[in-house]
Amino acid sequence: MIWIIVGLGLCLLEIFTPGFFVLLFGIAAIITGIASMLGLPIIYQWMLFIVLCLIFLCFIRKYLIRLLELQPTQIANVQSFIGKSASIVHPVEKNSLKGRVKIEGEEWIAITEEDEKFSSGDKVIIKGISGTKLIIGRES
């Protein structure tokens, strides 16, 4: 039973570590725990655990990492916002990071290079991008 508890603990620990390293030890411990419940002597339990860990690390880990790398990642195309209209959610002032705009259902930090203030509900146009902030201006 101790093998299974340790195995589950290692599997949970994997949440905080990258690379499928701790998870494989956890799975090996769970399998060893099942074997111990079937009456496998302690020396053979340790041998089974070590062999499973080596097999998992040498063969399965490579496959899991390769499988993870094949998954497509979604990249935000924030550049497509330039020239589009947005609405002010929180007032925007020059040199302030408190302003927010809503565009395509998402809320973004908004800044302005102009001296005028933009109030909630105003319609603006996205003029550019600065890091994670949208640069806005008045619609023409």
The tens-digit pLDDT sequence of the chain (140 residues) is 899 999 999 999 988 887 778 989 999 999 999 999 999 999 999 999 999 999 988 888 788 777 777 655 555 677 888 999 999 999 998 888 889 999 988 899 999 888 888 999 999 999 988 888 999 988 76
DSSP 45: H
Q: Which of the listed residues 70, 90, 125 is the one where a domain comes to its end?
A: 70
Question: Is 61 in the same domain as 83?
Answer: no
pLDDT in tens, 53-93: 999 888 887 887 777 776 555 556 778 889 999 999 999 98
Same domain, 102 and 55: no
How many Cβ atoms from other residues are within 10 Å of residue 61's Cβ? Answer: 16
Helix axes 22-37, 2-13, angle to 10 degrees: 160
CA distance 111 to 118: 10
Q: What's the maximum distance between 2 C-alpha atoms anywhere in the chain?
A: 81
Please report how many Cα atoms fall inside a 13 Å half-sphere around the Cα of residue 115, on the Cβ side: 0
pLDDT at 9: 94
Phi, psi of 48 (to 5 degrees): -60, -45
Which pTM was predicted? 0.49
Boundary residue ending a domain (40, 70, 100):
70
Range of the domain at 119: 78-138
pLDDT at residue 55, as a whole number: 92
Q: What is the pLDDT of residue 4?
A: 94
Same domain membership, residue 57 and residue 7: yes
**Can you give the pLDDT at residue 84?**
92
From 44, 70, 96, the end of a domain falls on: 70
What pLDDT score does 76 carry?
A: 60
C-alpha–C-alpha distance, residues 25 and 16, integer Å = 15
Q: Which amino acid is at 117?
A: K
